């Protein structure tokens, strides 16, 4: 009650009075006292679930109105995962500026799932399976995991087999590596030398020759093109369902806001361009079921007939 009073800039008694008025209008109690605490009762929980979406829609409406106000209509606040920002979005920002010089992007990098309405963001780029409550989402890209390493490491492993990777310094989560080896037909229990809470840092470590990484195909595409990384194998690993896709997420009330429409179109165009220009990698190491090279046979010269 005190925290509510502070947030709403009211007195403690004013909040209590408003709750009393609401309960009187509804004809039933919403709260119950437990010692010195006041908590929602069963009817209160039911009522909250019913009105939550309406309250969120009101918040989104206020945000949409604020976004179109004079002086703020052309600034778009976007929260992004650090790895997505570093490995994919930043390298494309020049093309955004050339296409939309009048729309400023205010980028916020965080691993946390931000509350767009509460924290004042117009949109977010998130990883998952979609369906965030009270928000619209558009799938941008699905991306498998591929094995990458620095050019120096790739040269050293040239012509080897997938099994030899188990003896190399692996970067990333053991569960992913174990699945990757299993799907390649190998019963290997991996022991990575380092794990990371940020995929961008893991790929940077791979570029510096510190180990071999399993990275999202679309996140390593630029590094493969620029020669900073080399894909070692054609073997891919589908991501888990909860982390399968990347989405653009935004409040429904902003769907027709011009700066957000511009961002949506630009992101989809960039993804299409990326997918068109990604070329299959020539394998550096041989798959498990590859046939061994045939030994050269010496052809004996025929003896001349007498």
Q: What are phi and psi of 50, to 5 degrees?
A: -75, -35
- Domains of the chain with CATH codes: 2-67 (1.10.10.10), 145-238 (3.40.190.10)
Torsion of CA 76, 79, 84, 87, to 10 degrees: 60
Residue-by-residue pLDDT tens, the chain, 306 positions = 788 888 777 887 888 888 888 888 889 898 888 887 888 898 888 888 878 766 666 665 665 566 555 444 578 999 999 999 999 999 999 999 999 999 999 999 988 888 888 888 999 999 988 889 889 999 999 889 999 999 999 999 998 888 889 899 999 999 999 999 999 898 888 889 999 989 999 999 999 999 999 999 999 999 999 999 999 998 889 877 666 789 999 999 898 899 999 999 999 999 999 988 877 666 777 665 544 444 433 334 344 444
Give the orientation angle of helix 258-277 with respect to helix 217-225, to 10 degrees: 60
Who's near 146: CB < 8 A, 6+ residues apart?
Answer: 214, 215, 216, 217, 220, 231, 233, 235, 236, 237, 281
- Written as six digits, the tokens of 283 are 């394998």
Instruction: Please check whether residue 213 is in contact with residue 219, taking contact to mean a CB–CB distance below 8 angstroms.
Output: no
To the nearest 10°, report the CA torsion of 244, 246, 248, 252: 0
């Amino acid at each position: 009650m005190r925290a509510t009073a502070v947030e709403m800039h009211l007195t403690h008694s004013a909040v209590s009075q408003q709750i009393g008025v609401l309960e009187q209008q509804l004809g039933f109690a919403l709260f119950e006292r437990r010692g010195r605490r006041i908590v929602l009762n069963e009817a209160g929980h039911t009522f909250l679930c019913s009105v939550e979406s309406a309250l969120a829609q009101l918040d989104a409406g206020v945000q949409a109105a604020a976004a179109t106000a004079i002086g703020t209509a052309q600034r778009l606040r976007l929260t992004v995962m650090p790895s997505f920002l570093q490995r994919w979005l930043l390298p494309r920002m020049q093309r955004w500026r050339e296409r939309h010089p009048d729309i400023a992007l205010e980028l916020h990098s965080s691993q946390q799932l931000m509350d767009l309405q509460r924290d004042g963001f117009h949109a977010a780029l998130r990883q998952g399976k979609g369906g965030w409550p009270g928000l619209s989402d558009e799938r941008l890209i699905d991306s498998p995991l591929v094995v990458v390493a620095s050019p120096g490491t790739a040269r050293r492993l040239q012509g080897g087999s997938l099994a030899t990777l188990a003896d190399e310094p692996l970067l990333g989560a053991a569960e992913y590596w174990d699945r990757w080896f299993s799907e390649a037909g190998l019963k290997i229990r991996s022991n990575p030398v380092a794990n990371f809470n940020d995929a961008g840092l893991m790929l940077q470590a791979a570029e510096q020759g510190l180990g071999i990484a399993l990275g999202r195909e679309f996140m390593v595409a630029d590094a493969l093109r620029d020669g900073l990384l080399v894909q070692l194998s054609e073997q891919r690993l589908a991501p888990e369902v909860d982390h399968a896709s990347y989405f653009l997420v935004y409040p429904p009330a902003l769907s027709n806001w011009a700066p957000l429409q511009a961002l949506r179109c630009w992101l989809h165009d960039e993804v299409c361009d990326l997918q068109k220009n990604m070329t299959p990698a020539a394998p550096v190491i041989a798959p498990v079921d590859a046939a061994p090279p045939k030994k050269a046979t010496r052809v004996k010269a025929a003896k001349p007939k007498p």
